[in-house]
Amino acid sequence: MNIRKFTSMILAASMTAALFAGCKDEEVTTVPTTDPSAVQITETTAETVPETSAITTHTAEEYRTAGVNELNSVPILMYHRIYDMKNADTEYTGGNVDKDGYNRTSEAFEADLRSYYKMGYRMMRLTDYVDGYIDVPFGYSPLILTFDDGIRDVVLQGWNDDGTPVFDPSCAIGILEKIKAEYPDYNVTATFFVNSQLFENGEENDRKIMKWMVDNGYDIGNHTRDHVILGDCDADEITKQVGAMYKKLDEIIPGQYVNIIALPFGSPEKMGPDKPQYDRIFSGTYEGFEYTSKAALLCAWTRCYSPFVREYDNTCLRRIRGYDNGGKDWDIEMNFAQLNDGRRYISDGDPNTIVFPSSDNSSGDWLKTTYGHQVITYD
């Protein structure tokens, strides 16, 4: 990658940095008060250099104190069915409803959401993450929620006089709406990946619900028409499974669904030139309907890379399974313990900049894609 560096000294910023640096002994050595490069602004192309005033910058000391690092990892949670049960009602660990923990109790799901909030995570849309647009406040970390299969995620109880849906308070969206009202700064959102049966409230109801969802901060994506293992399908079958589902979404919520697919059973795990049929996951034409996918999600097991780094691969985004296993086997507790131990993406609050400690890109090629954003490093 050809990064043309220009170092820009922002006088006020560096003066403040110097001021802070003087307060702590250990900082004096790392941030010399006369070093103008404590905060470096790097731009990828000469053509797209924005006005410096258009972006928000902080001092190196402020970035350091908050631990700002936008090359670190992002949790994409994978949930399935949410059941109206207490944890004590299940035979399994924590809030697991089934042996493998794919389904979760309402009690545990609500507690999960409160826990992420307390740990300093704020929600964002999956589609924005795939576009490299991460908009969470300074010092906070992005959190992305996904639900597969649709079943028991959106359970309709009826309709209000004004045409808005009444949800079962124990289903996923019922709990999300409750949390949304309670924490206005959480930016509650989630992406629901559905098959042709949608949410199983009856086709007409589900069509109306989906319109309400996209107007109220939720996203709908593709989980194939029949929930098949795409890794076992030939090109025509993949085209049918992926294309028919997009076509259906386009009829119900034209232009408002996300062009992202959650791969049933996480298959195929690897795309590549030896399997050209897998290209149909990402583009094709089904019954005259042209479709594209800008990303594909695997089933589990751990945090996903920052969209800016070399290892990030939009064809196989990793997710964290929303389950309990006593802090082992990549459950929520284990994943968040790792994230919170210096691996989590911490935002600078400006979606148009990428900020990280310069040491994190000492190899020179860990930062790979900037999406046209301005790059700011600090020492």
Residues within the interface to Zn ion (CB under 5 A): 148-149, 264
Q: At what angle do helices 203-215 and 235-252 cross, to 10 degrees?
A: 70
- Report d(CA 295, CA 285) in Å as an integer: 17
- Nearest approach in angstroms of CB 43 to Zn ion is 42
> In the complex with Zn ion, which residue's Cβ is closer, 142 or 221?
221
The residue with its CB nearest to Zn ion is 148
User: In terms of CB distance, is 149 or 219 closer to Zn ion?
Assistant: 149
Least Å from the CB of residue 224 to Zn ion: 9
* Contact of 375 with 367, CB cutoff 8 Å: yes
Return the number of the residue (134 or 261) whose C-beta is nearest Zn ion: 261
Write out the two tokens for 22.
């003087």
Q: How far apart are the first and last CA of the chain?
A: 22
**Interacting residues of 64 by C-beta distance below 8 A, sequence separation 6+:** 27, 357, 378
Q: Indicate the residue among 63 and 192 with the shorter CB distance to Zn ion.
A: 192
CA 242 to chain centre: 22
- Positions of E strands within the chain: 4-5, 39-43, 76-79, 82-83, 104-105, 121-123, 141-148, 156-159, 165-167, 191-194, 219-222, 260-262, 283-286, 289-292, 295-297, 320-321, 353-357, 374-378
For the CB of residue 12, give the shortest distance to Zn ion in the complex, in Å. 52
- C-alpha 4/C-alpha 49 separation (Å) is 11
d(CA 249, CA 286): 13
Q: How far is the CB of 318 from Zn ion (least distance, A)?
A: 16
Shortest Å distance, C-beta 339 to Zn ion: 24
Nearest-approach distance from CB 299 to Zn ion, in angstroms: 8
Residue with Cβ nearer Zn ion (150 or 165): 150
CB of 317 to Zn ion, least distance (A): 15
For 129, counting Cβ atoms within 10 Å of its Cβ (0-12 exposed, 13-18 middle, 19+ buried), the class is buried
**Least distance (Å) between residue 177 CB and Zn ion:** 23
Instruction: State how far the Cα of 27 lies from the Cα of 61, in Å rounded to an integer.
Output: 8
Q: Using the minimum distance from each CB to Zn ion, give the nearer residue, 71 or 297.
A: 297
Residues 147 and 174: their CA atoms lie apart, in Å, by 14
For residue 236 the two structure tokens come to 């025509």
Q: With CA atoms as reference, report the closest residue to 218 among 293, 154, 164, 265.
A: 154
CB of 373 to Zn ion, least distance (A): 33
Cβ proximity to Zn ion, 246 vs 336, nearer residue: 246
Q: Which amino acid is at 370?
A: T
Nearest to Zn ion of 143, 194 (CB atom): 194
If the CB atoms of residues 230 and 354 are measured against Zn ion, the closer one turns out to be 230
